A = this chain, B = another copy of it.
Amino acid sequence: MSRRCWRYALAGAVAVVGLASIATDTQAERVRWKLHAAYASNIPIIGDTPTMMIDTVDKASGGEFKIKHFEPGALVPGNAYYDPVSSGALDSAYGTPGFNVNKNFAYAFFASVPFGPRAGEYLAWMRYGGGEDMAREMYGRDSIRFYICGIAPPETSGWFRNEIKTLDDLKGLKMRFFGLGAKVMEKFGVSTQLLAGGDIYPALELGSIDATEFSMPVTDQGYGFYQIAKHNYFPGWHQQSTINELLVNQGKYEALSDPHKELLAAACDRATLYMFVKGEASQFDAIKFHQSKGVTIHRWSDANLAKFEAAWQEVIADEIKENEDAKKIWASLSAFRKDYAIWKDNGYLK
């Protein structure tokens, strides 16, 4: 071949390589997202679920679809991700619908309900009873795509310095308490406040609070509440299960290829199973640990649980009055639970 011909041959080859690269890029559709996490990644169960979800997406896409995890506070404060996802300032965020109640109180029903369902029943309502559709519609109003992406097992009912012999002992206590459960506790004379996880231990130590609830035993263990409050109450009637969410900016979602959409949905389903199962596996060792440190494990009597539940019925009747979304969703969940009871009461051993 003449030198001139070599040049053309090379040019032809280079041109094709260029085209091939473009074709491969289109096919590969390299996606790079940022994800804000509302929980630090070192918190057991709720913290490491988004990292396993991200890992699945990365590995199963052969590195085509990478989501970078940012700790709470790195991009935005822990729970303040709704508006940034809506605007597209954040591609995506991981948290719980319960963090979005300042946008619409009705989001609470997609996160956790006092005296609410366990994981199987809750997910059954969400997925096949209309819950997820209603959630998607509500988030869609603000250009957000919603995914169920985790479900946590029950929390404990709280940590107290002294034994609660009757519910009268609750009167006048200052307690850290979250969400709708807080309104129930207030009916028993508890003065509640919401503190972030890291602020609870110092507040307990200083005595600015007398008691706290926070999360599951294995999570609470890491915060060390057992060092101060030696009475741990069960069951956590205020949060029998807690749905966690992945929120994605609608435009970012729509720009995904069909395979990546499918993969993201599958990864969140996998993450949901992971949180549920890992959560179930991880609590008894934490309870044993607490006992070894001198903590007494108490279970509320059925009579006291009935009193909490009666107070809850008053709270919820009041809360949904002014919110059409909340009315509709609560009616749907309540009707489903009535039906599900037919199955629960017959199908299961006690």
Contact = CB atoms under 8 A, between A and B. Distances in A.
Contact of A339 (B10, B267, B284, B346): B284
B153 A281 contact: no
Interface string A60-90: 1110000000000000000000000000000
A20 B16 contact: yes
B118 A119 contact: no
B153 A120 contact: yes
Nearest to A216: B347
Interface in A328-342: 339-340, 342
Contact of A128 (B119, B121, B237, B281): B281
Interface residues of A, number: 79
Contacts of A8: 1, 5-6, 8-9, 12
A346 B235 contact: yes
By CB atoms of chain B within 10 A, which of A127, A237, A348 has the most?
A348
A11 interface: yes
Interface in A117-136: 118-121, 123-125, 127-129
Nearest to A288: B342
28 contacts: A1-B8, A4-B5, A5-B5, A8-B8, A13-B16, A16-B16, A16-B20, A17-B20, A24-B24, A59-B262, A60-B259, A60-B263, A61-B259, A62-B259, A118-B348, A119-B120, A120-B280, A156-B347, A234-B347, A263-B263, A266-B270, A269-B270, A269-B274, A270-B270, A270-B273, A283-B343, A297-B346, A299-B345
Given A235-B349, A299-B346, A305-B349, 15 more contacts: A5-B8, A6-B8, A9-B9, A12-B16, A118-B348, A123-B277, A124-B281, A127-B278, A127-B281, A129-B281, A266-B270, A270-B273, A280-B340, A280-B343, A287-B343
